[in-house]
A and B are shown apart, each in its own frame.
Chain A
Amino acid sequence: GNSVTQMEGPVTLSEEAFLTINCTYTATGYPSLFWYVQYPGEGLQLLLKATKADDKGSNKGFEATYRKETTSFHLEKGSVQVSDSAVYFCALSDYNQGGKLIFGQGTELSVKP
């Protein structure tokens, strides 16, 4: 079945450091890929998405490229801020599986000043 695997957290970085959160997926078809962010005490918010291979999603300085050859959708940001501290979820939706949104386990990011 379809699945999403993220790098384990917590990830702790200093402000202005470069961020990479790895995400790989397994899917039977051609999924759409998403990154959601959850700030403490809040619900999930869509951060970015990509619907086909080689698409790059970007938002708020974050970006991720849909790599079909490596089945990956790694999240990157060139310079993190304390306000980026949150839990980040990679997710996929596969038309062949009814479009159900499947989440990875989440990666906690903590940015120190």
Chain B
Amino acid sequence: DAGVIQSPRHEVTEMGQEVTLRCKPISGHNSLFWYRQTMMRGLELLIYFNNNVPIDDSGMPEDRFSAKMPNASFSTLKIQPSEPRDSAVYFCASSLGRQALSGNTIYFGEGSWLTVV
């Protein structure tokens, strides 16, 4: 079975450029999450969708970040303009059901490694 698929795996971009990260969740999963991982801050939940609707975006750091989920099989995380402090690994994850309620397993993609120079 295909897991959560993310692209690109690696991206190096210049400060000020727009970055778009893409995610395809596991088929049939109705919850999708975007996480960011850095050495300083660990794993942070940026935004969470349920049935394609954003439920909690309190972790989105600032207006430069936006996320969309136009359908059940695709989501994007966009950073515009990008800054060096955005350099991190961005993980997309999906689950069947809302978040980790009642122990629902959340499945992670392999991550998009972003470097902004």
Contacts and interface: CB of A to CB of B under 8 A. Distances in A.
Interface of A: 32, 34, 36, 41-46, 49-51, 89, 91, 93, 95, 98-101, 103-106
B97 to A, nearest CB: 9
Chain B interface main SS type: mixed
A99 B98 contact: yes
Given A49-B105, A101-B45, A103-B43, A43 B110 contact: yes
Contacts, number: 63
Contact of A49 (B33, B45, B101, B103): B103
Nearest 7 CB-CB pairings of A with B: A93-B100, A99-B99, A43-B108, A99-B101, A51-B103, A103-B43, A44-B108
A44 B99 contact: no
18 contacts: A32-B101, A32-B102, A34-B103, A36-B108, A42-B111, A43-B110, A44-B91, A46-B105, A49-B103, A49-B105, A51-B103, A95-B102, A99-B104, A100-B45, A100-B100, A103-B42, A103-B43, A106-B42
B99 A42 contact: no
Interface residues of B, number: 24
A23 to B, nearest CB: 14
B91 A43 contact: yes
B58 to A, nearest CB: 9
Given A44-B91, A45-B108, A89 B99 contact: no
Interface string B12-48: 0000000000000000000001000000001101001
Nearest to B31: A99
